[in-house]
A and B are shown apart, each in its own frame.
Chain A
Amino acid sequence: MKKTFLILGTVLALALVFGTSCRRDKTQTALEYMPNMYRGPAFEAYTSNPNFEDGLSARKPVNGTIARGYIPYDYSNSQQGYDSALAYLKTPWDLRSFTSEEKELLMQDAKELYTIFCSHCHGEKGDGNGILVEREKILGVPSYSSEKLPNITEGSIYHVIMYGKNIMGSHASQLSHDERWKIVQYVLQLRNDPSPNPVTASVEEQTNPEV
Chain B
Amino acid sequence: MNHEKQGENLMRTSFIARSRSLLFIVLLALTPLVSMAFEVQGDAANGKAIFNANCASCHKLDKKLVGPALGDVTERRELDWLVAWIKDNAALRASGDADAKAIFNEYNGLVMAAFPQLSDQDINDILAYTVEGNKPKVVVNGGGNNSPDPNTAASGDSNLVVLISLSVFLILLIFLLVKVKNTLKAVKGDPTSTLLEDSNFWTRTILRSKSFIILASIFVSVFLLREAYYGMMGVGLNAHYQPVQPIAFSHKIHAGDNKVDCNYCHSSARFSKHSGIPSTNVCMNCHMYIDGSEIQTETGELKYNGEKSPEIAKIYNAIGWDPENRSYIPDYEEKPVKWVRIHNLPDLAYFNHAQHVSAGQVECQTCHGPIQEMEEVYQYSPLTMGWCINCHRETEVQVESNGYYAELHAKLKEKYGDEPITVEKIGGLECGKCHY
A residues near B (Cβ < 8 Å) are: 7-8, 11-12, 14-16, 18-19, 22, 24, 26-33, 37-40, 45-46, 48, 54, 56, 79, 105, 115-117, 119-120, 128, 131-132, 135-143, 148, 164, 166-171, 173-175, 211
Contact = CB atoms under 8 A, between A and B. Distances in A.
Contact of B65 (A46, A167, A175): A167
Contacts of B53: 128, 140, 142-143
B235 A46 contact: no
B285 to A, nearest CB: 3
B81 interface: no
B57 A141 contact: yes
A120 B230 contact: no
Interface string B35-70: 000000000000000001111111100000110000
Contact of A169 (B238, B281, B341): B281
B109 to A, nearest CB: 7
User: Is the contact region of chain B dominated by helix, strand, or loop, or is it mixed?
Assistant: loop
Contacts of A38: 236, 346-348
B222 interface: yes
Interface string B204-248: 000000000001001110110011001100111110111110000
Contacts of B219: 11-12, 14-15
Question: What 6 A-B pairs come out closest when comparing CB atoms?
Answer: A140-B57, A140-B56, A139-B56, A169-B285, A40-B347, A15-B222
Interface string B364-395: 00000000000000100000000000000000
A142 B338 CA distance: 36
Given A38-B236, A40-B347, A174-B267, A116 B57 contact: no
A174 B52 contact: no
Interface in B86-119: 109-111, 117
A19 B227 contact: yes
A46 B341 contact: yes
Interface residues of B, number: 68
A115 B262 CA distance: 11
B289 interface: yes
A46 B274 contact: yes
Contacts of A132: 258, 260, 286
Given A38-B346, A137-B290, A30 B236 contact: yes
Given A11-B219, A18-B223, A26-B242, A169 B234 contact: no
A39 B347 contact: yes
B58 A140 contact: yes
B282 interface: yes
A34 B413 CA distance: 43
B386 to A, nearest CB: 16
A139 B57 contact: yes
A32 B284 CA distance: 38
A37 B279 CA distance: 30
A167 B58 contact: yes
A65 to B, nearest CB: 17
A157 to B, nearest CB: 15
A188 to B, nearest CB: 20
Contact of A137 (B111, B241, B258, B279): B258
A167 B289 contact: yes
B218 A12 contact: yes
A116 B357 CA distance: 14
Interface string B237-281: 110111110000000000001111101100100000110010101
Interface in B283-325: 284-286, 288-290, 294
A19 B341 CA distance: 30
Contact of A29 (B238, B261, B282): B238
A15 B54 contact: no
B203 interface: no
A138 B286 contact: yes
Contacts of B215: 7-8, 11
B226 A19 contact: yes
Contact of A27 (B230, B243, B258, B282): B243
A49 to B, nearest CB: 12
20 contacts: A15-B226, A16-B226, A26-B241, A27-B241, A27-B242, A27-B243, A30-B237, A32-B236, A33-B236, A38-B347, A45-B273, A79-B109, A116-B264, A137-B290, A142-B53, A166-B57, A167-B65, A168-B57, A170-B285, A171-B285
Given A166-B66, A169-B285, A175-B267, A11 B218 contact: yes
A48 B267 CA distance: 22
Contacts of B347: 37-40
B336 interface: yes
Contacts of B289: 138, 167
Contacts of A117: 261, 263-264, 267
Contact of B55 (A26, A45, A116, A140): A140
B65 A16 contact: no
Contacts of B336: 54, 56
Contacts of A139: 52, 56-57
Contact of B259 (A11, A29, A131, A168): A131
A142 B420 CA distance: 47
Given A39-B346, A142-B54, A173-B281, 7 more contacts: A8-B218, A27-B244, A30-B236, A79-B109, A138-B290, A142-B53, A174-B264
Nearest to B58: A166
